[in-house]
Amino acid sequence: MIELSSNNGVAEIVLNAPEKLNSLNEAGLVELDAAYDAAAAAASAGRVRALLIRGEGRAFCAGRDIAGVDGANDDARGYLEGLLTPLLQKMAAFPAPTFAAAQGACLGVGLGLLIATDVVYVAENAKFGSPFGNLGATLDSGGHWLFTETLGAHRTLDLVYSSDLISGAEAVAAGMFSRAMPAEDLLGFTRAAAAKAAAGPTLAFNASKTLVAGIRRERLGLWDAVVLENEAQVALSDTADYAEGFAAFTAKRKPTFTGK
């Protein structure tokens, strides 16, 4: 159900099980993990300089595939700690800019996949929330962190207790994700953004990715962040893309970046 392809430096990973809204069981997580490993290897070799993840059909990912799961004997720890969390950490650490195109249901695991992606574009009809009280379960995959960070404690618990869903447009207005747009425009827009990033100075982009992750993780203040920015800039000044960017500016031409 997981497909991986690449074109012009952009790897595209597709969750392709639209009949079950791209929900993921244990085998699906293993497949997705392997796809990221393959894409990361291609990125390390310089063949991939950006990645896009999307879902086929009317949903991005409706969460965990619980068909056939016996709630009385479910290995929740094995699914979450053994498979899902390592995958999300691998996605967040991918060595190139990552993008997601998300439409329809983006719940549970599906929400986690978006949280672990650098830039998320959503369809206006995308749906986010915590309907898991209906199962006697709770939100996982980083959902509590994202909702509390962006919506605040009261709205987060309102969503949990009510099982209400918010739209993609509402989520972007709250600062959860980057941009919302009509569903018919989503994939083309996201592919264009990924292609533009892949043609850019990806070492510089990765430096910003690392800086942003550190600022969020460590809750850094202004001057601590400036120290890290200075170090990143010094390191980039030794790269070919840095030299090319300055040379192109001086010559008043468009730079040609190679990711080196």
Q: Does residue 74 have a pLDDT over 90?
A: no
Q: What is the pTM of this model?
A: 0.95
How does the average pLDDT of the chain come out, rounded? Answer: 96
Q: What is the 3-state secondary structure (H, E, C) of 141-158?
A: CCHHHHHHHHHCHHHHHH
Q: Judge contact between 138 and 160, C-beta under 8 A.
A: yes
Residue 36 pLDDT level (bands cut at 50, 70, 90): very high
Top mean pLDDT of 34-38, 75-79, 131-135 is at 34-38
What pLDDT, on a 0 to 100 scale, did the predictor assign at position 230?
A: 97
* pLDDT given for residue 134 in this prediction: 85
Among residues 153, 172, 198, the one where a domain terminates is: 198
Domain that holds residue 140: 2-198
Of 157, 172, 198, the domain-final residue:
198
Residue 259 lies in a domain: no
Last residue of a domain, one of 198, 219, 237: 198
Q: How many domains does the chain have?
A: 2
What would the pLDDT profile of 102-132 be if each residue is shown by its tens digit? Answer: 999 999 999 999 999 999 999 999 999 999 8
pLDDT reading at 68 higher than 90: no
Position 69 pLDDT exceeds 90: no
- Residue 132 forms part of a structural domain: yes
Helix (H) or strand (E) holding 128: strand 127-129
